[in-house]
Amino acid sequence: MLARRIPILMLPLALAACGFGPGTARAPGPVIEGSNAPEDNPIPSNYKSEILDFLHTYLNDPTNVRDAFISEPVLKAMAGKNRYVVCVSYNAKTNTGEYGGSKDRVAVFYVGRFNQFVENGRQTCADVKFQPFPELEHMKR
């Protein structure tokens, strides 16, 4: 009786194995978050304006920012995935109207678009070249 059931129990395993292997084609579809394919990581073209748009709402007081610097986009590993990042350093006013000290942040881009703003960017940005970011220093409400 057991000998008759073994072939029946093995059938699903045999059929499942048919769908996988070295010749299996991948169906085209949407970009999957977390992919490392080069086409998923175009260099962001409007990175400054996207960062400015975000900071306009992120900062308590977006006016009179001091010591603003920005890097060019650079490909870095973020959480195990290759992403273009832009390092931003600035000194903005807090909600009390006083300057809170220099902040180092990392703007992460996915599929060429701003995706997230990460605090504590000092380690990620240790080897990038900063340039002045006067657009941030002259931002209005």
Query: Would you tell me how many other CB atoms lie within 10 Å of the CB of residue 120?
Result: 11
Tens of pLDDT, residue by residue over 58-76, are 999 999 999 999 999 999 9
Dihedral sign from CA coordinates of 43, 47, 48, 49: positive
Q: What is the pLDDT of residue 58?
A: 94
On whether the pTM is more than 0.85, the answer is no
- Residue 81: how many other CB atoms lie within 10 Å: 15
Question: Dmax over Cα atoms in the chain, in whole Å?
Answer: 84
Token pair, residue 52, equals 């400015």
pLDDT at 41: 83
CA 129/CA 4 separation, integer angstroms: 71
Q: Which helix (H) or strand (E) holds 104?
A: strand 99-110
For a pLDDT cut of 70, what percent of the chain falls above it? Answer: 72
Residue type, 117: F
